[in-house]
Amino acid sequence: MVTTYLFYFLSFLAIMFGLMVVLSKNPIHSVLYLVLCFFTIAGHYVLLNAQFLAVVHVIVYSGAIMVLFLFVIMLLNLNKETEPHKSIWLKGSAAIAAGSLLLVMVGSLKGATTIQSTNAFNPNIGLIENLGTTLFKDFLLPFEVSSILLLAAMVGAVMLGKKSIK
Amino acid sequence: MKALILLSSLGVISLLAELFSFKKLLYPLVLLGLIATFVFNICDWNATNNVFYKMLQFDNYAIAFSSVIIIIAFLWFLMAEGFFKEETNLTDHYALVLFALVGAVILTSYTNMAMLFLGIEILSIPMYILVGSSKNDLSSNEASFKYLIMGAFATGFLLFGIALIYGATGSFDLTEIKTAISSAGVTPQIFYVGMLLMLVGLSFKVSAVPFHFWAPDVYEGAPTVITAFMATIVKLAAFAAFLRLFDVTFYRVSGSWGLVVWMLAALTMLVGNITAVFQTRVKRMLAYSSVAHAGYMLLALLAANHYSNSAILFYGTAYSIGSIATFTIVSIVAGARGDDGIHSFNGLGKSNPMLAVVMTIALLSLAGIPPTAGFFAKYYIFTSSFIAGNVGLVLIAIIASLIGVYYYFRLIIAMYFKEGNHEAIPLDLNHKLLLIVTAIAILVLGICPDFIIRLL
């Protein structure tokens, strides 16, 4: 019972902070609201019994990546309201496109029924041990292949960053 | 699987070349490596094997598509030798191109949504970087930035789609998803939303209208060799992935994506061809023509019958070979005359007969005129679509190809019937070899298309 209330509370907060990210004029405020939004999502992970994911989410997203965001905004000196004004047509068409997506999503979720999980509930499912077993057994190949992705991204970053010798 | 391992290790070896200073040897090494990859890849023919808990499946479909991709990559390396001249970034360029090829091979063979996502990212991230690889060129920087932002946005759609499909069916595995949606129970509505979002993500990757707005700018801004890579290998791999997902896995629910793909195909063919007519720069014109060709391939995707696979394989091969030839010639001519406007091609028939003849053959193939490969490619696509009952769409496709003939011929007319007093352009040995091979390949495929059509 408590978890249901907690779920609705967290969802309300997540949606509110998400809206504030978009609506606030100052980029720094946007980023800070995004941090809060990520914290509420971490709360959802805890409710879903995925403790490890919740911790990693807080450390990586709310911690590292958001600090990086703040640094970039600071370095580019974007803390003023420098965003150029969009034309009314652009705003209108964006609103219509996003609104139709929202309509489709709401419409499809309205008719959704709760799916009962076929597996027996395992309270340890979110612990590192289970995650590790899945990662190194079923998902070994994607785990290995993502190393190529990271290597390519790193090589690219170095290539774009270095000066040409001459 | 062997192809995947070989290509990744080639990429790592090319990074090591900087350290152990065998940079001069790298070019022949990579070409030999690609030949070896092709041979090992072919060896697995008919030996369907699942790799690592059903993550990849190298069935004949995957092997046929990945072999074509490797052949095109070989031709691309012949074309792009000049791209690997700059000392500073030489090894990085090799490594990024080879890693992109790894992504392309994964896209032909995935059987799990996780691998689909990884494949698309491994293919895209090197492309974002390579598009911006001429660092002092402002339009190259702009193209890279645009591609990155739009590509990330499209990946967001794709991931959201995968997440919703996982929510509806409880699996990332393509066969399990297929069983889940064809079993007696009601498929949850969110599955269809997920499918639609994945369609958006993949349409972006193949640059189908209305998700094509990035394509002309990126194709024009990127170095010409990278444009050729994107127009051929990236598009072929994205279509292989598209086909596997929609024609195999989502086949049972084709009623709910059929109309959307119908509209996409019609719009892509018409908008691509009509916009190409108004272009004055050849590279941009070829970019729009590449958008239009995606539309023809969507036609076979929509048909979803037993002709589709071989039709798309053949179309992709014919189109890629034609594109490699045209982009090579555009890069040679634009490099020598400093401009890729149509007027730079004036009088090419007199000054460089060989360039003009190969360009003519390639353009005729892209336009779909016999006896070139492009004619049979269009023939098989239209047949598969006709059998599936999409007669209206075939009519639109025929009208669109007629519009296409106009702008391809404008270039041919410029080469042969317009006066231009330019000097002959000297050609590298590599480029000569490439042009002869592509011209012969286009004619041979046009005369006996059977041996590719019978593969699948």
Q: Please list every residue in chain B whose beta carbon sits closer than 8 Å to the beta carbon of residue A109.
A: 189-190
Which residues of A make CB contacts under 8 Å with B?
104-105, 107-109, 111-113, 115, 137-142, 145-146, 148-149, 151-153, 155-156, 158-160, 162-165
Query: pLDDT category, A4, cuts 50, 70, 90?
Result: confident
Is residue B255 over pLDDT 90? Answer: no
ipTM of the complex: 0.90
Summarised one tens digit per residue, pLDDT across range B329-346 is 999 998 888 888 888 888
What is the number of CB-based contacts under 8 A between chain A and chain B?
Answer: 92
Residue B346: strand, helix, or coil: coil
Cβ contact (<8 Å) for A152 and B95?
yes
What pLDDT is attached to residue A118?
Answer: 62
Q: Across B3-114, where does the E strand assignment appear?
A: 50-51, 56-57
pLDDT at A38: 93
For the residues A15-26, what does the mean pLDDT come to? 90
Which residue of A100, A148, A158, A163 to mutate against B (max B Cβ within 10 Å)? A148
Chain A contact for B15, CB < 8 A? yes
Mutation target vs B (from A105, A110, A149, A158; most B CBs, 10 A cutoff): A149
Q: What is the pLDDT of residue A116?
A: 62
Residues of chain B contacting A111 with CB distance shorter than 8 Å: 189
Q: Residue A166: its pLDDT value, please?
A: 54
For B259-282, the pLDDT digits (tens) are 999 999 999 999 999 999 999 999
* pLDDT at residue B13 in the model: 92
What is the average per-residue pLDDT within B388-413? 92
Whether the predicted pLDDT of A54 surpasses 80: yes
Q: CA neighbours within 13 Å on the CB side: how many for B409?
A: 8
- Contact flag A113-B188 (C-beta cutoff 8 Å): yes
**Banded model confidence at residue B199, pLDDT cuts 50, 70, 90:** very high
Q: Does B29 touch chain A (CB under 8 A)?
A: no
CA B214/CA B134 separation, integer angstroms: 19
Q: Tens digits of per-residue pLDDT, B89-143?
A: 788 899 999 999 999 999 999 999 999 999 999 999 999 999 998 888 899 999 9
> What are the residue boundaries of the structural domains of chain A, listed by start?
1-82, 123-166
Which CATH code fits A1-82? Answer: 1.20.120.1200
List pLDDT tens digits, range B425-443.
888 888 999 999 999 999 9
Contact with chain A for residue B185, Cβ under 8 A: no
CA distance B251 to chain A (A): 21
Mean pLDDT across the stretch B34-60?
87
Instruction: Inspect the interface and report whether the beta carbons of B115 and A113 lie closer than 8 Å.
Output: no
Nearest neighbour of A149 by CB, restricted to B56, B86, B121: B121
Q: How far, CA to CA in Å, does B424 sit from each of B315, B333, B345, B432?
A: 33, 10, 12, 14
Q: How confident is the prediction for chain A on average, in pLDDT? A: 86
Q: Convert the pLDDT of each residue in A94-118 to its tens digit.
A: 999 999 999 988 888 887 766 666 6
Does residue A79 carry a pLDDT above 70? no
DSSP B76-91: HHHHTGGGG--TTTHH
Cβ pair B118:A111 closer than 8 A: no
Using a CB–CB cutoff of 8 Å, tell me whether B92 touches chain A: yes
* Backbone angles phi and psi of A76, in degrees to 5: -85, -5
Gap from B268 CA to chain A (nearest CA, Å): 20
Mean pLDDT, to the nearest integer, of B220-233? 93
Domain ranges of chain B: 2-453
Say what the pLDDT of residue B184 is. Answer: 64
Interface-testing mutation among B87, B88, B145, with chain A (most A C-beta atoms within 10 A): B88
Residues with Cβ within 8 Å of residue B56, at least 6 apart in sequence: A141, B1, B4, B50, B62, B106, B109, B110, B111, B112, B115
Q: How many CB atoms lie within 10 A of CB A7?
A: 14
Residues 159-178 of chain B whose Cβ lies under 8 A from any Cβ of chain A? 170
Give pTM, 2 decimals.
0.92
Of A108, A137, A159, the CB nearest to B190: A108
User: In the predicted model, is pLDDT for residue B376 greater than 60?
Assistant: yes
The answer to whether residue B45 scores a pLDDT higher than 80 is yes
At residue B87, φ and ψ (nearest 5 deg) are -55, -50
Confidence class for position B74, pLDDT limits 50, 70, 90? very high
What span, in angstroms and rounded, lies between the C-alpha atoms of B16 and B10?
10
The mean pLDDT value of chain B amounts to: 90
- How close does chain A come to B22, measured CA to CA in Å? 18
